[in-house]
Amino acid sequence: MHRKSASNPFLEEVAATAPGGDALRTCLQCGTCGGSCPSGPDMDHTPRMLFAMINGGMREQVLRSNTPWYCVSCYYCTVRCPKEIPITEIMYALKRLAVRDGLYDDTTAPDFSKTFIHWVEDYGRSFELGLMGVHMIRHNPFGAFKIMDMGVGMVTKGRMGFAPTRIKALDGLKRILAKAKELEAQT
């Protein structure tokens, strides 16, 4: 067990929110994570820098950083980290904290996740056309023109569903998710 930091409640918060997040205390600041990251150049802060900021208790700056939202979940950093910090899980934890506290400047990525899950919560399955449609109208209305040929191809080849599939035990799933959200709110 690692020593807890009484003076840095933010570090404790992140460590407790991510499964295996306790390992974050052992970060060496070596930079292997940032050097391994395929989307690193477009991030506000490299993961290494973000972890230094967490250590420094810079809660708002960390949660407002675009870094977790540009993480593509490729797990390169996770397998390369010499201290075996589950970095991808920490990025997910930072996203959850940012969403819960409304601390994000660009709504594109959080909205995408919310739209995706909206279909899943209402039908039990995801719905690509509904997701892309709603998301593009909100965030990239001209983007539709750029992928027009793809859209036509997807439709003519029968790869695009026009309605989501509804699972049979949808009521049961809704009860499970309602209970899960209730319990998550108590954490």
Partner 1 sequence: MKYSYFPGCSLEKNAASYDVSTRAVASRLGMQFTEVEDWNCCGATEYVSLNLTAAYSLIARNLAQATKNTGLDQVVAPCSACYLNLRKADKVLGQDARLADRVGKALAAGGLSYKPGSLHVRHLLDVLYQDVGLEALTAAVTKPLTGLRVAPYFGCMIVRPSFHNGGEDPEYPTSLDKILKALGAEVVDYPMKAHCCGGHMTQISEDTGFEMIRRLIKGADDYQTDVIATICPMCQLNLDGFQGAMNRHFSTNYHIPVLYFTQLIGLAMGMAPKDMGIGDEIVSAAKALAKIGTAVEPEPAGPARRKKDDKSLPMPSRGGGVA
Token couple for 38: 């395929």
Least distance to partner 1, CB of residue 42, Å? 5
Residue 68 buriedness (CB in 10 A; 0-12 / 13-18 / 19+): buried
Q: How many helices (H) and strands (E) does the chain have?
A: 12, 0
d(CA 26, CA 44): 23
Task: Kindly state the DSSP code that residue 43 receives in the 8-state scheme.
Answer: S
Q: List interacting residues with partner 1 (CB under 8 A).
A: 17, 19-20, 38-39, 42, 69-70, 72-76, 78-79, 86, 88, 92-93, 95-96, 99, 108-110, 112-114, 116-117, 120, 124-126, 128, 132, 135-136, 139-140, 143, 146-147, 149-150, 153-154, 157-161, 165, 167-169, 172-173, 175-181, 183-184, 187
Least distance to partner 1, CB of residue 54, Å? 18
Token couple for 54: 């967490």
Least distance to partner 1, CB of residue 91, Å? 9
